[in-house]
Amino acid sequence: MARNIILFAAAALWAGAAAAQAPMPRNVTVSGEGKVEAVPDRAILPVTLENKEKTLALAKQKNDAQAAALMKVAESFGLPKEKLKTTGFYLAPQYRFEPGTNRQIFDGYLVSRSIELTLDKQEQTEEVIAALAKAGIDRIQGLRFTLSHPKEQEAQARKEAMDDARAKASQLAAAAGAKLGPVMTIQLQGGGWRDAPRPVFAAAMAKAEAVPPPVLPGLETLEQQVTVTYELQ
């Protein structure tokens, strides 16, 4: 019995030593980047309707009138209601400090409503801005352009990132006198569309003779990064 225990222990030690001496698989880890540029075909126009009056009823009434004017402009350009989205609503009493006494004095009510218009025809942007300004809607800020169907460009950017990673790994493998093997792991890193919101101030165009400002969509840039580990052979 003792002899069997000794043999079993020896076998276990031998197996452990063999496992410890087994060569670790060789690999190389690289990062890849892909970039795609596309002309946006959709515009998102954030509008703020703000009214301050002595009474809440009057402030709300004027704000509702502005919202109705906005709806009328949207309808004139064929925008369905689902292309308008309320993103914020604020209603509160306002106060000011009395000079010399530092006392708060009631100063009326403020009603503010934020609405986003989505224009599937971005070429209408200038005309819509001018029409809103003529309707008395003078706070338009944060215009941005997007793609209505970005999936194709996103897939292309990921493919370019993988191609870039493979090219780097192949170069490193060749320099090390090895061959590139199959992919072991893939990690998709952060990335996305890069676009800075464009400020638009409609008050400057409020006069009927105002000329719509030049609004250029430019290019949207999508960047994707991957980290890939390849086996070396």
> Residue 4: its pLDDT value, please?
52
Asked whether the beta carbons of 125 and 55 are under 8 A apart, the reply is: no
Cα 37 to the center of its chain, rounded Å:
15
The boundaries of the domain holding residue 126 are 41-147+195-214
- pLDDT 10s digit of each residue in the chain, 233 long? 555 544 454 445 555 554 555 667 799 999 999 999 888 889 999 999 999 999 999 999 999 999 999 999 999 999 999 999 999 999 999 999 888 888 899 999 999 999 999 999 989 999 999 999 999 998 888 888 888 888 888 999 999 999 999 999 999 999 999 999 999 999 998 777 665 455 554 544 444 445 555 677 778 888 999 999 999 99
Return the ∠ at Cα 49 (arms to 206 and 129), rounded to 5°.
Answer: 40
Is residue 176 included in any domain, yes or no?
no
Task: Assess if residue 5 is contained within a domain.
Answer: no
Classify residue 157: in a domain, yes or no: no
Q: How many domains does the chain have?
A: 1
What CATH number does the domain containing 127 carry? 3.30.70.2970
Q: Would you say residue 13 lies in a domain? A: no
Distance in angstroms (rounded) separating the CA atoms of residues 223 and 157: 7
